[in-house]
Structure formats: structure tokens, C-alpha cells
Amino acid sequence: MKTDAITNVNKVQQDLRATEEARWMAGVAKGDRVCFEKLHDRYAGLVFATVYKVLNDHQDAEDVSQVVFSQVWQKAHLYDRSKGKPITWTVTLARNRAIDRLRSKQRRSHLRDGYSEESKVFEATATRRDASDEVSEHERAETVRTAVLELSDEQREAIEMAYFGGMTQQEIARKLGQPLGTVKARIRRGVMRLRGVVGHRL
């Protein structure tokens, strides 16, 4: 009986807490900074822990936590109380942003590895050429710039967002208002065209 009573008390406290937080979230949706600060104070530790568990990097976790609360401020109007508690909504947002950051880091790492391998190929090729046939660094850079300009506007925009903006393909699709499959195709075709043009000219 005592255990049941404690359980009931805890449930009542949790419900009151959720109601309070839902009221704060509604305030944030209306631009109430006091409500936002209350939510931030209550959720900051949990958000950081959620993000850190995914990234395992203190600085990245701090950066992403700031992004999460920035999105809470911007997207509080999207919170639907009928679909869950504010804390669940916020933690889900934190986990998604952490996963996005992790994928972005992995993608940049793959790109660096790819560029490193391509550089080795270029260097090996250059050592086999006569001095008169070597392509200068300036000429290589100019070739790449020219190749990028030959891409369609849609391909260039998608590639810049993915490789230089650190955005996921889903984020690009949302930003451009295009289907995910269309964005994937643009990036794939753009990269293939770059490889073909640069490889042919060098």
C-alpha cells in the first residue's frame, strides 16, 4: 500500500510538472523569454547529456545544445501537447540534431579522406610526367573552379550545401522544398560531372 501511495504521488508530481512545462512551451511559442529561460534551466542538463551520449565530444555537445535551444525558441509553436510531454519533444529534437552533427562530421571525414587519396594520385601522376607537362597548382585550381561553374545551378547549390554547408540531404530537401530523391540525384550527378570534367582536363 505504501509503495502504491508513493507511486501515485510521483505520478501526480510528474503530471503537474508536465502541465507546467507545457504552459512554458506555449509561452515560448508566443515569444515569452521568461518561459524560455525556465525551460532552458530545467532542460539544459538533460539536453546536454542526450547530445553528449551521441557525439561523445564535450565541445560538439555544447555547440549542438545551443542549436537545440535555438530551435526550441523558433519551433515551440510546432509542439503538440496531445502527442507527448514537452520534455519528450525536446529530447527528441536534441537527439535528432546530435545525429545530424555526427553524420555531418562523418561526411566531412570521408571527403577529407577522398581528397587525400585523390591528391596522392595526382602527385604520383605528376612525378611520372616531364617537367614541361606538369600542371601548376594555379591551373588545377582554375580547372576545378571552371568545372564547378559548368554544373547546373541546381547541382551546384545542392553540392555546396552538402559539402561546404555541412547539411544533410534531408535538410537540403526541406530547405529547397524538393523531394529527397531529387536532391540525392542532383548531388550524385553533380559529383560525377565534376569528376569527369576535372579528370579529363588534368
- Does the CA dihedral 184-185-190-193 come out positive or negative? positive
Q: What is the pLDDT of residues 159-177, one digit of tens each?
A: 778 776 778 888 888 888 8
Return the pLDDT at 148.
67
Tens digits of residue pLDDT in 134-152 = 445 556 556 666 666 677 7
Q: Which of 148, 134, 114 is nearest to 202 (CA)?
A: 134
Nearest to 148, CA basis, from 198, 99, 84, 111: 198
Answer for the pair 21, 87: CB distance below 8 angstroms, yes or no.
yes
CB atoms within 10 A of CB 48: 17
pLDDT tens per residue across span 54-102: 999 899 899 999 999 999 999 999 999 888 899 999 999 999 999 988 8
Q: Select the more confidently predicted residue: 196 or 57.
A: 57
Tell me, what DSSP letter sits at residue 135?
P
Q: Which is more confident, 157 or 202?
A: 157
Give the residue, 118 or 62, on which the prediction is more confident.
62
Residue 202: all three cell numbers together: 588534368
Distance CA 149, CA 190 (A): 11
Residue % of the chain over a pLDDT of 70 = 70
CA angle 79, 82, 86 (to 5 degrees): 45
Cβ partners under 8 Å of residue 115, min gap 6: none
Predicted local distance difference test score (pLDDT) of residue 77: 92
pLDDT digits 0-9 by tens, 67-78 = 999 999 999 999
Residue 131 carries which DSSP code? Answer: G
Q: Check: pTM over 0.75? Answer yes or no.
A: no
Mean pLDDT of 180-184: 87
Length of the chain as a residue count = 202
- The pLDDT value recorded for residue 134 is 45
Alpha carbon distance, N-terminus to C-terminus of the chain: 81
CA distances from 98 to 49, 144, 184, 194 (A): 11, 33, 22, 31
